[in-house]
Amino acid sequence: MTGGLLVLPVAGPLLLSGLLALVHHLRPHTTRLDRVVGPAAAGGVLVFAGFLLAATSDGSVPVLQLGGWQPGIAIVFAADTFSAVMLAVTSLLVLVSLPFAAALGEDEDAAFVPLVLVLMAGVSGAVLTADLFNLFVFIEVMLVPSYLLFAAGGGAERLAAARLYVSISLMASTVLLAGVGLVYGAAGTVNLGELAGAGESSPAVGFAAAVVLLALSVKSAVVPLHGWLPQTYSRTGPAVAVLFSGLLTKVGVYAVIRLYSVVYGGTPRYLWVIMAVALLTMVIGVLGAVGEHAMRPVLTFHMVSQIGYVFVGLALSTAAGLSATVFFLVQYVLVKTALLMCAAVVEHRYGTGELDRLGGLARREPLLAGTFAVAALTLAGIPPLSGFVAKLGVASAAASAGQHLAVALVVGVSLLTLLSMVKLWNGVFWEPPAEDAEGEGTEGPAVDGGAPAVTSALGSRVRPLVLAPPVFLAAAAVVLGLWAEPLLSVSAAAGAGLADPSGWVAAVTGR
> Which is closer to other proteins, CB of 297 or CB of 308?
297
| Cα four-point dihedral sign 368, 374, 375, 380 | positive
Rule CB under 8 A: say whether 185 interacts with other proteins. yes
State in angstroms the smallest separation of the CB of 97 from other proteins: 23
- C-alpha 333/C-alpha 390 separation (Å) is 12
67 is a site residue for other proteins (CB under 8 A): no
Find the binding residues for other proteins in span 272-291 (CB under 8 A): 288, 291
3-class SS letters over 417-464: HHHHHHHHHHHHHHCCCHHHHCCCCCCCHHHCCCCCCHHHCCCCCCCH
237 binds other proteins (CB under 8 A): no
Contacts of 66 (CB under 8 A, 6+ apart): 7, 74, 75, 76, 77
**SS3 of residue 191 by DSSP:** strand
Rounded Cα gap, residues 237 and 215, in angstroms: 26
Q: Does 405 bind other proteins (CB under 8 A)?
A: no
The number of C-alpha atoms within 13 Å of 128 and in the hemisphere containing its C-beta is: 34
Cα–Cα distance for residue pair 119/418, rounded to 1 Å = 33
Which residues, numbered 163-182, are part of the site for other proteins (CB under 8 A)? 163-164, 166-167, 170-171, 173-174, 177-178, 180-182
Beta strand 63-65 pairing with 76-78: antiparallel
Looking at the Cβ atoms of 33 and 159, the one nearer to other proteins is 159
Binding status of residue 450 toward other proteins by CB under 8 A: yes
| 159 vs 297: CA distance, rounded Å | 17
Interface residue with other proteins, options 446, 456, 463, 482 (CB under 8 A): 446
* Smallest distance, other proteins to C-beta of residue 271, A: 28
Which lies closer to other proteins via its Cβ, residue 43 or residue 227? Answer: 227
Taking CB under 8 A as the criterion, the residue among 67, 441, 444, 449 binding other proteins is 444
CB of 475 to other proteins, least distance (A): 34
Nearer to other proteins, 351 or 464 (CB): 351
By CB under 8 A, residue 367 contacts other proteins: no
Region binding other proteins by CB under 8 A among candidate stretches 88-96, 153-161, 365-373, 454-462? 153-161
Which of 34, 354 has the CB closer to other proteins?
354
Query: 5, 66, 160, 283: which one contacts other proteins (CB under 8 A)?
Result: 160
- Paired residues of 78 in beta bridges: 63
- Which of residues 451, 475, 478, 506 is near other proteins by CB under 8 A? 451
Closer by beta carbon to other proteins, 289 or else 395: 289
Pick 60 or 173: Cβ nearer other proteins: 173
Is cis: bond before 224, omega within 30 of 0? yes
Q: How many CA atoms lie within 13 A of 278 on its CB side?
A: 27
Using an 8 Å Cβ cutoff, are 353 and 427 in contact?
no
- Rounded-to-integer distance, Cα 6 and Cα 128, Å: 8
Angle at 383 between CA 377 and CA 385, to 5 degrees: 65
Q: Shortest Cβ distance from residue 444 to other proteins (Å)?
A: 5
Interacting residues with other proteins between 119 and 148 (CB under 8 A): 133, 137, 140, 144, 147-148
Cβ closer to other proteins: 133 or 430?
Answer: 133
Q: Which H or E run includes 252? A: helix 238-263
Q: Say if residue 479 is exposed, middle or buried (CB neighbours under 10 Å; 0-12, 13-18, 19+).
A: middle
Min CB(251)–other proteins separation in Å: 16
Determine contact, residues 372/340, Cβ cutoff 8 Å.
no
Instruction: Select from 60, 231, 267, 396 the one that contacts other proteins (CB under 8 A).
Output: 231
Q: Which residues bind other proteins (CB under 8 A)?
A: 133, 137, 140, 144, 147-148, 151, 154-157, 159-164, 166-167, 170-171, 173-174, 177-178, 180-182, 184-185, 227, 230-231, 288, 291, 297, 444-446, 450-451
